[in-house]
Amino acid sequence: MKNNIHIIILSCVCLFVSFGLCDRGMIPVNPNVKIFEPNQRAMIAWNGDEEILLLSTDVSASESTMVLEVLPLPSEPQVKKGDLETFRKATDLINSKISIAPLARAGERTKGIPPPSGEVTFHKKIGAHDISVTHLLNANGFVDWVKEYLKSIGIEHEVISNEMKELIDEYINGNFEWFVFDVITLTEETVTNEPIQYTFKTKSLFYPLKITKTGEGNTSIELIILTPRLLADFPSLPIHRIALEHDPITITDEELRYLNEDMSGLLNDYKKMRLRIWKIEGELKSFDRDLIAR
């Protein structure tokens, strides 16, 4: 199954303090080009059965190249354009409440943490992209799909590394059979893409990390997490790799509607929700597990 969706896509703003790559795999058409994704931010709302992932990054390359982005998901997503204002509003809301937040934890142990800076900056924006949602059952199907897709836009040489193929196999063997593809053109100039919002079924809060193992360098990721309660079970990525940036705050449904109507609808059975920022840092090659929490 394949749905082609023409929308303004993935990646944008420099929010909070610093962010990094760890959401999608990137396959440059020119294998000698290095891809850089120094900043990335996301907001995740999860109600125990369904997740909304609002995703945005800054990207550049060592030289001009076309890049295929790959995002694995546990179920078929609905995809739509996101709103940058959601990030701004969440930052402002956290800053306004941080001094009176109750002392509670999501598994992490932190103390005396300063509030987030609330800074939101922009690089040059990228416009509309072509997104495809595809159901794959094996890595060979992934390779065939990529070849056919690139052939349709005039590219007919091999771009899939064995390492990437093995990663796709791992995801499919772990019942991650849905992949979002996007082709973008990068240059040496860092650009900010507009955010994309994905909605999908999942029994655990999910954020893909290991798909970026083929990248180089270090990264810093900050995630705005919104759930009805704090989470304590982290069966995949070790909890010590996740830092809680501040004490979680409680927000009402009215405040959530102000942030994001879709997230408010997702959590409409709850009168109060917990909002906080998680930070994950490390070398890209060190992410051999995804973020899973419940």
Residue 44: which residues within 8 A CB-CB, separation 6 or more?
A: 51, 52, 53, 54, 205, 207, 223, 224, 225, 226
* Those residues with Cβ within 8 angstroms of residue 127's Cβ, 6 or more apart along the chain or in another chain: 8
3-state secondary structure of 152: helix
Residue whose C-alpha is closest to residue 178's, from 46, 106, 71, 44:
71
Q: What's the confidence (pLDDT) of residue 125?
A: 55
Could you tell me where the DSSP H helices lie in the chain? 84-97, 139-152, 162-173, 253-259, 261-266
For residue 43, the model assigns a pLDDT of: 95
Complete DSSP assignment for 56-103 = EEEEEESS-EEEEEEEEESSPPEEEE--HHHHHHHHHHHHHHGGG---
Model confidence at 168: pLDDT above 50: yes
d(CA 97, CA 95): 6
Six token digits for residue 284 = 């890209």
Q: What is the helix (H) or strand (E) element at residue 198, kind and residue range? A: strand 196-201
pLDDT band at 39 (very low <50, low <70, confident <90, very high): low
- Evaluate whether 234 touches 242 at the Cβ level (below 8 Å): yes
**Tokens found for residue 198:** 């994905």
> Between helices 139-152 and 162-173, what is the axis angle to 10°?
120
Grade residue 41 by pLDDT with cuts at 50, 70 and 90. Answer: confident
For 178-202, how does the pLDDT look when each residue is reduced to its tens digit (9 = 90+)? 998 877 777 777 766 778 899 999 9
Largest Cα–Cα distance in the chain?
58
**Cβ(25)–Cβ(179) under 8 Å?**
no
**Per-residue model confidence as pLDDT tens digits over 75-104:** 999 999 898 889 889 988 998 888 544 444
Per-residue pLDDT, 63 = 78
pLDDT (0 to 100) of residue 166: 87
Domain spans, the chain: 2-293
| Alpha carbon distance 218, 212 (integer Å) | 11
Angstrom distance (rounded) from CA 69 to CA 24: 6
- pLDDT score at 124: 54
With a CB cutoff of 8 Å and minimum separation 6, the contacts of 204 are: 235, 292, 293, 294
Give the predicted TM-score (pTM) of the model: 0.82
Tens digit of each residue's pLDDT (9 = 90 or more) over 219-274: 778 899 999 999 999 999 988 889 888 889 999 999 999 999 999 999 999 989 99
Asked if residue 117 has pLDDT above 80, the reply is: no
3-class secondary structure, 288: coil
Round the average pLDDT of the chain to a whole number and report it.
77
Highest mean pLDDT among 10-19, 58-67, 269-278: 269-278
